[in-house]
Amino acid sequence: MEDGKRVIITVLGYDKIGIIANISAILANTRSNILDISQTILQGFFTMVMVVDMTDSTVDVAELRRLLTEKGQEMEMEITVQHEDIFKFMHRV
């Protein structure tokens, strides 16, 4: 995999049916590959972090962010998309 082609997607909101399915559908439709996923429900709050490879994606990071933000608003969820390099920079110790 090429360096710089991964993004970190985070999802936060009230738990409801179809969250993973809706987000996964967008990723599949844009040929963005889920490399790793972690999700949990904390007292009714759904949280998820995904590492996604965009090497073969049909969209750029900005377009993927727009698509997921729209879906998040529709589902009343907060969805963020960060390029891996920015995520690493922001979370270094």
Alpha-carbon span 48 to 78, nearest angstrom:
11
**Three-state DSSP state, 19:** helix
Alpha-carbon span 40 to 15, nearest angstrom:
10
- Largest Cα–Cα distance of the chain, in whole Å? 38
Residues 18-49: tens digit of each pLDDT: 999 999 999 999 999 999 999 999 998 999 99
User: Which domains does the chain possess?
Assistant: 6-90 (3.30.70.260)
pTM more than 0.75: yes
pLDDT at 1 over 50: no
pLDDT at 2 over 60: no
Sorting pLDDT into bands at 50, 70 and 90, what band is 91?
A: low
- The pLDDT value given to residue 4: 60
Q: Where is pLDDT greater, at 77 or 90?
A: 77
Task: Report DSSP letters for 59-83, one per residue.
Answer: S-HHHHHHHHHHHHHHHT-EEEEEE
